[in-house]
Amino acid sequence: MQTGQDIEDLRILLVDDDPRTLRLLSFLLEAIGVSETYTAGDGYEALSYLDNVPDRPDVILTDLNMPGLDGVEFLRHLSMRSIASRIVLISGENKRILDTAKTLAQVHDLSFIGTLQKPITQKALSEILRQCLAFGAQIRRRNSGPITEQELVDGLINRDGEPLRTVYQPTVSMKTGAPIGVEALVRWTHAKSGVLGPMSFIPLAERLGHTKFLTDVVTRRVMSEAAFWRSNGLDLRVSINLSVTVLKCLDLPEFVVATAESTGLDPSKLTLEITESHLMRDFKESLETLARLRLKGVWLSIDDFGTGYSSMEQLKRVPFNEVKIDRCFVTGAAQDVETRAILESSIELGQRLGLVVVAEGVESREDWDLLESLGCDVAQGYFISRPLEAEALPGWVRSWNTAGLPSA
């Protein structure tokens, strides 16, 4: 959004499963003078639009109650893609649900502007768009589009993943305070845009069917860096994030285990993290690969727990070792009664299922103290450490072991 912009210049994405609401909103926007309006009938369609346009819309008007990807999940996906478009929720829901969605949008660091109550009037719509404009021009900075298909294919396949880098975020035991592992997080070094986070290119790699290349590069790199820490005397568990689409590759278990063993890593010290909501969507196809990975000793973790449609029956059937509670239920949980309730029951459920419970997004001493009192096993987050370069890890572990937990 440029400074000096008027309401008419706004580019707006409308997301609603009700065609009548989409038609009404398009009509009202036209009456207000807005000419660039895009519509999506559900969250998946909206994400695919956002992943494929070079310039994100200025404003996203989204329904909360949609089949498929619901509004709350959609907000999380927007956050993962660092989307800075201003967000307005449309809803006929009661105030309590809207308040919760608003809290989630804020926890996810989205530019939340307000809500538009049904029935929608032209006056209310103009007013909220004016608030969007007033929000300031600083947002565009974060809102550049993802890398192009050509750049992705070139970097990932022709150059064997050369633009990819992995950073490592430590996890520590809440019982002993000792460092126990690291999670590998991938980055893309882009010639023009600098270092890009995973959400700038992973959704594109998934859509183009290139996640096997990504997994191969990341796995090989992580294993060789893990060999470097071991040579420095560090025996850390290593976690890698997997795109669920890669679970369709039947040779994945052999590849992962062979790579681990060739670098001297015991497969039982390797954890693969899979996002819960994605897993449940492609459950049947994933189950065989997951079972074979477990048979080979690799650990499995349910990532972003609490944000998807987890079916208890399916959770029971997958031989998971670990559950990672999504950071939107962890960061600042002590200050919010409802978030805290979800956190408490997620920890209890994980432990009842016999899983190691990891909390991600631990940002303060308060978050840590609450998790400790709730009996959480493992913590990860900025309070402990930001993601680090591989070479920085041995030094971090030494200073953590000397200084221990930060005081604030």
Taking CB under 6 A as the criterion, the residue among 41, 114, 145, 197 binding ligand C2E is 197
Q: Does 303 contact ligand C2E by CB under 6 A?
A: yes
Whichever of 64 and 325 has its CB closer to ligand C2E, that residue is 325
Give the nearer residue to ligand C2E in terms of CB position, either 243 or 277: 243
- Cα–Cα distance, 178 to 405 (Å, whole number): 10
Query: Which partner in ligand C2E, Ca ion, none is near 381 (CB below 5 to 8 A by kind)?
Result: ligand C2E
Q: Does 360 bind ligand C2E (CB under 6 A)?
A: yes
Closer of 58 and 360 to ligand C2E (Cβ): 360
Query: Which phi and psi (to 5°) does residue 311 adopt?
Result: -95, 125
∠ CA 112-72-126 to the nearest 5 degrees?
Answer: 40
The site that binds ligand C2E (CB under 6 A) totals a number of residues, namely 25
Residue 289 sits in the site that holds ligand C2E (CB under 6 A): no
DSSP class of 363: -
Q: Which residues of 349-358 are buried (b: 16+ CB within 10 A; e: fewer)?
A: bbbeeebbbb
Query: Per CB under 6 A, does 255 bind ligand C2E?
Result: no
Residue 350 engages ligand C2E in binding (rule: CB under 6 A): no
Picked from Ca ion, ligand C2E, none, the partner binding residue 49 (CB below 5 to 8 A depending on kind) is none
Alpha-carbon distance of 318 to 275, in angstroms, equals 13
Asked if 256 touches ligand C2E (CB under 6 A), the answer is: no
Q: Is 1 exposed, middle or buried (0-12, 13-18, 19+ CB in 10 A)?
A: buried
Give the residue closest to ligand C2E by C-beta. 381
Separation of alpha carbons 112 and 62, rounded Å: 11
Please list, in sequence order, all residues whose beta carbon lies within 8 angstroms of the beta carbon of residue 152, skipping any fewer than 6 positions away: 201, 204, 205, 208, 210
Choose, by CB under 6 A, the member of 202, 204, 247, 393 that binds ligand C2E: 202
Closest CB to ligand C2E among 169 and 346? Answer: 169
3-class state of residue 324 by DSSP = strand
- Residue 316, burial from CB neighbour count under 10 angstroms (0-12, 13-18, 19+): exposed
- Binders in 150-169 for ligand C2E, by CB under 6 A: 169
Which single residue is written with the structure tokens 């048979």?
295
Query: Could you tell me which stretch among 43-51, 165-173, 297-305, 394-402 binds Ca ion (CB under 5 A)?
Result: 297-305
Q: Select from 104, 156, 182, 242 the one that contacts ligand C2E (CB under 6 A).
A: 242
Question: Whose CA is closest to 388, among 147, 99, 239, 185?
Answer: 185
According to DSSP, residue 265 is labeled: -
- Check residue 216 for interaction with Ca ion (CB under 5 A): no
Contact between 303 and Ca ion (CB under 5 A)? Answer: yes
Site string for ligand C2E, 114-153 (x = CB under 6 A): ----------------------------------------
Query: Nearest 10 degrees: CA dihedral of 263, 179, 349, 75?
Result: -80
Q: By CB under 6 A, name the one of 304, 329, 347, 349 that touches ligand C2E.
A: 304
- Closer CB to ligand C2E, 139 or 199, in the complex: 199
- Residue 124: φ, ψ to 5°: -65, -40
What are the DSSP calls for 157-210, one per residue? IITTTTTEEEEEEEEEETTT--EEEEEEEEEEEETTTEEE-GGGTHHHHHHHT-
- In the complex, minimum distance from the CB of residue 118 to ligand C2E, in angstroms, rounded to a whole number: 32
Q: How far is the CB of 176 from Ca ion (least distance, A)?
A: 23
- Helices 43-52 and 71-80, axial angle in degrees (round to 10): 20
Residue 58 interacts with, from ligand C2E, Ca ion, none (CB under 5-8 Å by kind) = none
Per CB under 6 A, residues contacting ligand C2E are 80, 169, 185-186, 197-199, 202, 218, 241-243, 273, 275, 303-304, 327, 331, 360-363, 381-382, 387
Per CB under 5 A, residues contacting Ca ion are 241, 273, 303-304
